[in-house]
């Protein structure tokens, strides 16, 4: 069986439509400061938003394809690295457990998508999550996937859980709460293993955390995640702390989100000014 599979070889049928992160960010429909957004007091994803139904369906589809890639990434980590030499057996065992969780999340998210009225392929699949799981260093995978991307999942699932609670949807609330508990475990595994493996290798730890920072900023989606009400998702600090993030780390992630938000707003203003002139 082939090791270190590139993202281009992910198995998908004709229902899926894949795009790159660059394509996604270039899509004008993702603008944060369009006319509709300007009139809102908050961009938080709640049932009160005029576009709440469509936004929630799109997010659920994103969760669904993200869980597929998380399953693929955890499975690849079990296979790509030589046991003992490149990755401890216990780490691989944790990744196998995570793969089982992700498979369950795929099924849950697919059923929730159907419950919410959407179909596979109705929205595009961004493959950047799996790309973060393609590093040839298992520690970078832990930093990029388990800490950065699974950390994002904590924020997103918390938002969706609250969305279901406010909307009076017990199915959505229960399922998101169930998956959120798994995500906290996944992040905690990544945090614990990163610290354990790099205990005597500060340079490797520094490199891993720098990679995590890059992924965190990339997945701020132009500022869609921060402490600002202008962002769709808040930083779920309490659950992140349970997963092993320190207060300083949470503050840093929040700062990255604000930087991404301000950069995105500046870019949009430039485009709007160019159109006006």
- Furthest-apart CA atoms within the chain: distance in Å: 62
Residue 239: per-residue pLDDT? 95
Query: Which among 17, 18, 36, 39 has a CA at the least distance from the CA of 28?
Result: 36
Say which residue, 199 or 221, is predicted with more confidence.
199
Query: Which among 118, 261, 117, 244 has a CA at the least distance from the CA of 186?
Result: 244
Residue 172 lies in a domain: yes
Residue 186 β-bridge partners = none
Q: Model confidence at 228, in pLDDT bands (50, 70, 90)?
A: confident
Residue 73 lies in a domain: yes
What is the four-CA torsion angle of 122, 8, 157, 268, rounded to 10 degrees? -70
Residue 64 lies in a domain: yes
- Average pLDDT, integer, range 188-197: 94
Which residues neighbour 158 within 8 Å (Cβ) at sequence distance 6 or greater?
176, 180, 233, 234, 236, 239
For 52-87, the pLDDT digits (tens) are 999 999 999 999 999 999 999 999 999 999 999 999
- The helix/strand/coil state of 47 is coil
Residue 193 lies in a domain: yes
Residue 61: per-residue pLDDT? 95
Residue 115 lies in a domain: yes
Determine the structural domain holding residue 201 and report its residue range. 39-208
Residue 174 lies in a domain: yes
Which residues neighbour 85 within 8 Å (Cβ) at sequence distance 6 or greater?
none
> Among 34-38, 63-67, 83-87, 102-106, whose mean pLDDT is lowest?
34-38
User: pLDDT at residue 38 above 60?
Assistant: no
Q: Model confidence at 24, in pLDDT bands (50, 70, 90)?
A: low
- Average pLDDT, integer, range 114-139: 91
Residue 151 lies in a domain: yes
- Please report, for residues 52, 74, 140, the alpha-carbon distance to residue 134 in angstroms, rounded to integers and kept in the order given: 34, 10, 9
Residue 42: per-residue pLDDT? 67
Say if pTM beats, i.e. exceeds, 0.75: yes
Instruction: Give the CA radius of gyration of the chain.
Output: 19
Residue 141 lies in a domain: yes
Alpha-carbon distance 200 to 195, whole Å?
A: 9
Per the CB < 8 A criterion, the answer to whether 145 and 70 are in contact is yes
Residue 256: per-residue pLDDT? 87
Residue 32: per-residue pLDDT? 43
User: pLDDT at residue 34 above 50?
Assistant: no
CATH code at position 109: 1.20.1260.10
Say which residue, 166 or 19, is predicted with more confidence.
166
User: pLDDT at residue 31 above 50?
Assistant: no
Q: In the chain, how many domains are there?
A: 1
Q: Model confidence at 4, in pLDDT bands (50, 70, 90)?
A: confident
For 239-258, the pLDDT digits (tens) are 999 998 999 999 998 998 88
Residue 273: per-residue pLDDT? 82
- Average pLDDT, integer, range 35-48: 67
Residue 269: per-residue pLDDT? 83
């Amino acid at each position: 069986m082939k090791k270190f599979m590139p993202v281009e070889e992910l198995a998908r049928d004709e229902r899926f439509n894949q795009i790159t992160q660059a394509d996604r960010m270039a899509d004008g429909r993702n603008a944060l400061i369009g006319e509709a957004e300007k009139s809102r007091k908050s961009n938080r994803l709640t049932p009160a938003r005029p576009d709440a139904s469509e936004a929630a369906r799109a997010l659920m589809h994103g969760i669904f394809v993200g869980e597929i890639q998380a399953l693929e990434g955890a499975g690849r980590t079990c296979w790509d690295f030589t046991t003992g030499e490149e990755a401890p057996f216990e780490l691989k065992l944790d990744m196998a457990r995570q793969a089982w969780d992700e498979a369950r999340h795929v099924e849950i998210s697919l059923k929730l998508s159907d419950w919410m009225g959407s179909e596979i392929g109705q929205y595009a699949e961004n493959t950047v999550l799996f790309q973060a799981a393609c590093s040839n260093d298992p520690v970078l995978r832990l930093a990029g996937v388990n800490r950065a991307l699974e950390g994002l999942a904590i924020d997103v699932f918390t938002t969706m859980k609250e969305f279901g609670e406010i909307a009076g949807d017990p199915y959505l609330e229960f399922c998101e709460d169930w998956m959120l508990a798994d995500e906290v475990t996944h992040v905690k595994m990544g945090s614990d293993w990163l610290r354990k493996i790099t205990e005597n290798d500060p340079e490797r730890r520094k490199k891993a955390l720098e990679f995590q920072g890059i992924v965190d900023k990339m997945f701020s989606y132009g500022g869609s995640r921060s402490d600002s009400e202008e962002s769709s998702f808040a930083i779920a600090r309490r659950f992140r702390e349970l997963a092993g993030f320190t207060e300083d780390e949470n503050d840093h992630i929040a700062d990255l989100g604000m930087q991404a938000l301000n950069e995105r707003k500046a870019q949009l203003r430039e485009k709007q000014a160019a159109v006006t002139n």
